[in-house]
Structure 1
Amino acid sequence: MTATRPHAAGGTPRGLLLLMSVATGLAVAGNYFAQPLLDLIGRELGTGTSLVALIVTAAQCGYALGLILLVPLGDLVDRRRLAVSLYAATAVFLLVSATAANGTVLLASTALTALTSVGAQVVVPFAAALADPAERGRVVGTVMTGLMLGLLLARTASGALSELGGWRTVYWVNAALMALMAVLLRVFLPRLGADGPRMSYSGLLRSTVAMFRYEPLLRWRAGIAALSLASFSVLWTALTFLLVRPPYGWSESAIGLVGLLGVAGALTATVAGRLADRGHVQIVAGAGTVLLVASWPAIAAGAHSLVLMVVGVVVLDLAHQAVLNSSQNVVYALRPEARNRINSAFMTTFFVGGAAGSALTSVVWAHGGWSGVCVLGAALSAGTLVLWVLERITVSRAAGKRPSSGVVRDPVRIPATTEGE
């Protein structure tokens, strides 16, 4: 099918870009609303701590399954219909959460909400597909700004709404907003059909996995982004442990406000995208990996200095956004007809990195405290720098071996027999 663009020329309309940014932020936010409310939910539903704690795990598992099973469908069906359907389904599952009578129902609805909330990961490559090549970095950066703001501000909004009307209010409001987003996306998104060959669903999933085999840049960039998110997760997982203890001794509400520091990083995603559009994508990536490493000495000193802690947190957030945006700019340009499968493979690896970082943090904190956590974060950040350097060396060598005349054959394209099932 041929995509119907929303404009003849001159770039993606700002109103549409704003809608897509808000939509991605709201979809992702729904997976984090429950985190500061677990104790309140458990007391009202009469549910044990162990079951309530599984709500966070259910959200993570549901989202991972959605990335693997649903996002690739964007290369098989009409993308607008897929996005609208996922947003509408998310609104329905949020309503189930809002009316849940017990912990089991809430657990199941949370998993289903997370499963369909990957509609956000359909919208991001949708935006990349609508954008002219010269503006793709800016467009993706803008949409990712909305996504990261939703992630960072979800806990703050959740606490405020729960104080106004209880924890169910959070789900009622989010359900209404997701339903509104479904309607607006249906009205304003252009039709954008699949560009690749038709295939079975099982063939689609196999093709998604095969992307790692046939696209070396996807392997490199997914690894770099995964280590970056792992480092990011180390900080934000351990920061609460540090701030509740001397010399800080902060309350939960005060700690929640620290998350606002991450807004600075999220807002730089568009800047990184603009630099990428001007041909500086490797400079953005390299600078991001270097800054990731450089942030950790200040974060380590933050054990006794709030000023250095703030500096370190802001620098790490800026660096993480630069690494993520530059990596997305690279992988989205690989195979336009398979962009949703590329995104599925990339984002699944990305979030696995984040989950691994969080899991490692809990173990390291128990044995090494803040110093051990900072060593872990610095090591993961150094890993992003090493992978980026190795990628540059590998790509340079490959470029040197290309034939000097005629059309260069691309060895990393998936054979038609793999796709066309």
Structure 2
Amino acid sequence: MAEIPGGAADGKKGIPAEDNHTLSSRAVLLFSLTSALAVGNVYMVQPLLEAIAKSLHVAPGSLGSVVAITQTGYALGLLLLVPLGDRCDRKKLVIIQLLLSAVALTVAALATRFIMLLCGLLLVGVMAVVAQVIVAWAATAAAPSQRGRVVGSITSGIVLGILLARVASGMIADIAGWRAVYFTAAGLLLMLTVTLAVLIPAPGLPRLRASYLSLVQSMFALFITDSRLRQRGIMTFLIFTAFSLMWTSMVLPLAALSASLTQTGLFGLAGVAGALAASRAGIWADRGKGAHISAIALLLLTLCWLPLAGLERSWWLLLAGIMMLDFAVQAVHVINQSAILAARPETASRLVGANMCFYSLGSALGAITATHLYAIWGWYVVCCAGALISVCALLYGIKVYQQ
């Protein structure tokens, strides 16, 4: 097996990153928009769960599988596709993934049976990891002094994409049905793919020469050899389990209160606080304040479940809780990613992919747990579970930051 940086055989040697220079604001904007739409495709299903259940005759307790299958696909993509960014032309890799993502969205839109929808969404999840290839591409292309800001800007765009996907999907579904949401997303993705292909020059080829199998194996080796990745990954798992608990199940009590799909989607705008956090967190990380800000954010994540528990009494409380939760989760996430990438930029794609595996597993677990808890015990128990996970994240974070 070829010696691969980041693998078990890696010592002081390593493959140098691409030549660092200041990344243009135009490139950062286009990267952000593309990543936003790619990841937004994973989340736009959340306001549609009730409509899909009625259309395809799915039991409410099984709705968590719709979100979970997408996150499972995302995890597979992280393990099998993202490592290629350290070996292949990242521009070609991104364009191929975007085109296949458009195909997957079309399959989901045409689904007449639940199993067909799940297959389409599985592929949507696999291809959505293009956002992580883009993050690694931008991080290695940026100068070290702007790396945190660039990662923060793209992550901010991703968060805004997630929010707008929820809002837009609810509005489009109210007007034209849930299938129109997926057709629209496929069309937009094709337009962005053409724009990226024309405007963004190809990056310098990564100088890593290794077989595909060796590349994937080295990613697993990172879990063993990189203690920083393991620590931040566990934190990522915890915060996104809590995140998914709320966002997956929130549509169910709102539907019980007769909220329309548009109203449900509009609650996603409260998460703009998360986008602001992502944008600022990269700057805080560049200034060496990451640990302090992360500790504050984890405390905020723990406290947000108090207003969230009041959803059935006041939508204003729900609004406040969403703002707190999204701000906290995205701040910790960006600071974690910046810390991981700063240590070993030559393995950027694999480090991002490895860290996001924890994200995907947490999101899938949160989705399945949330819908089952709600179906059996209701919204308050969902909030109690979220608070418990958040406390675990806070205590673990304090331990990590003290080292």
Normalised TM-score (structure 1)? 0.82
CA distance, structure 2, for counterparts of residue 33 and residue 168 of structure 1: 12
Residue in structure 2 matching 1:298, options 298, 307, 312 = 307
1:351 maps to 360
CA distance, structure 2, for counterparts of residue 127 and residue 120 of structure 1: 10
CA distance, structure 2, for counterparts of residue 96 and residue 369 of structure 1: 33
CA distance, structure 2, for counterparts of residue 13 and residue 220 of structure 1: 32
CA distance, structure 2, for counterparts of residue 20 and residue 250 of structure 1: 34
Q: Deviations over 1:304-353 (max 9, x none)?
A: 34444332321121111111111111111121111111111100111211
Does the 8 Å CA contact 1:85/1:182 hold for their aligned counterparts?
Answer: no
2:389 maps to 380
Q: 1:189 to 1:32 in 2, by over 3 A?
A: same
CA distance, structure 2, for counterparts of residue 49 and residue 301 of structure 1: 28
1:76 maps to 87
1:29 aligned to 2:52?
no
Does the 8 Å CA contact 1:2/1:193 hold for their aligned counterparts?
Answer: no
Q: 1:111 to 1:326 in 2, by over 3 A?
A: same
1:394-409 matches, within 5 Å, as 394=403
Q: Deviations over 1:44-96 (max 9, x none)?
A: 7xx54269956544423322211111111111211111111111222233344
Residue in structure 2 matching 1:288, options 283, 297, 310 = 297
Q: Unpaired segments of 5 or more residues in structure 2?
A: 1-14
1:278 aligned to 2:287?
yes
1:338 aligned to 2:347?
yes
Residue in structure 2 matching 1:145, options 131, 151, 156 = 156
1:179-328 matches, within 5 Å, as 179-193=190-204, 195=206, 197-244=208-255, 250-301=259-310, 303-328=312-337
C-alpha displacement of 1:363: 4.2
1:389 aligned to 2:398?
yes
- The alignment partner of 1:199 has SS state of coil
1:397 maps to none
- The alignment partner of 2:42 has SS state of coil
Larger radius of gyration: 1
CA distance, structure 2, for counterparts of residue 351 and residue 4 of structure 1: 28
1:175 aligned to 2:181?
no
Q: 1:321 to 1:68 in 2, by over 3 A?
A: same
Identity percentage over the alignment?
A: 37
- The alignment partner of 2:394 has SS state of helix
1:76-155 matches, within 5 Å, as 76-99=87-110, 105-155=116-166
Q: 1:59 to 1:363 in 2, by over 3 A?
A: closer
CA distance, structure 1, for counterparts of residue 245 and residue 67 of structure 2: 17
CA distance, structure 2, for counterparts of residue 363 and residue 161 of structure 1: 28
Q: One-letter code of the match for 2:329?
A: H
C-alpha displacement of 1:371: 3.6
- The alignment partner of 1:191 has SS state of coil
CA distance, structure 1, for counterparts of residue 195 and residue 343 of structure 2: 30
Q: 1:37 to 1:132 in 2, by over 3 A?
A: same
CA distance, structure 1, for counterparts of residue 371 and residue 114 of structure 2: 26
1:329 maps to 338
Higher relative contact order structure (alpha carbons within 8 Å, sequence separation ≥ 6): 2
Q: 1:105 to 1:358 in 2, by over 3 A?
A: closer
C-alpha displacement of 1:20: 0.6
CA distance, structure 1, for counterparts of residue 114 and residue 319 of structure 2: 38
2:4 maps to none
Q: One-letter code of the match for 1:24?
A: S
Which has the higher mean CA deviation after the structures are superposed, 212-221 or 276-285? 276-285
Does the 8 Å CA contact 1:2/1:192 hold for their aligned counterparts?
Answer: no
C-alpha displacement of 1:224: 0.9
1:361 aligned to 2:347?
no
Q: Deviations over 1:87-126 (max 9, x none)?
A: 1222233344445566655443332232222111111121
> How many pairs does the alignment contain?
387
Residue in structure 2 matching 1:16, options 27, 45, 58 = 27
Does the 8 Å CA contact 1:74/1:194 hold for their aligned counterparts?
Answer: no
Q: One-letter code of the match for 2:232?
A: R
Does the 8 Å CA contact 1:296/1:378 hold for their aligned counterparts?
Answer: yes
C-alpha displacement of 1:272: 1.4
C-alpha displacement of 1:242: 3.8
C-alpha displacement of 1:243: 3.6
Q: Deviations over 1:223-264 (max 9, x none)?
A: 11211111222222343344445xx65444323322221122
Q: 1:313 to 1:113 in 2, by over 3 A?
A: closer
Does the 8 Å CA contact 2:71/2:361 hold for their aligned counterparts?
Answer: no
Q: One-letter code of the match for 1:294?
A: L
Q: 1:135 to 1:63 in 2, by over 3 A?
A: same
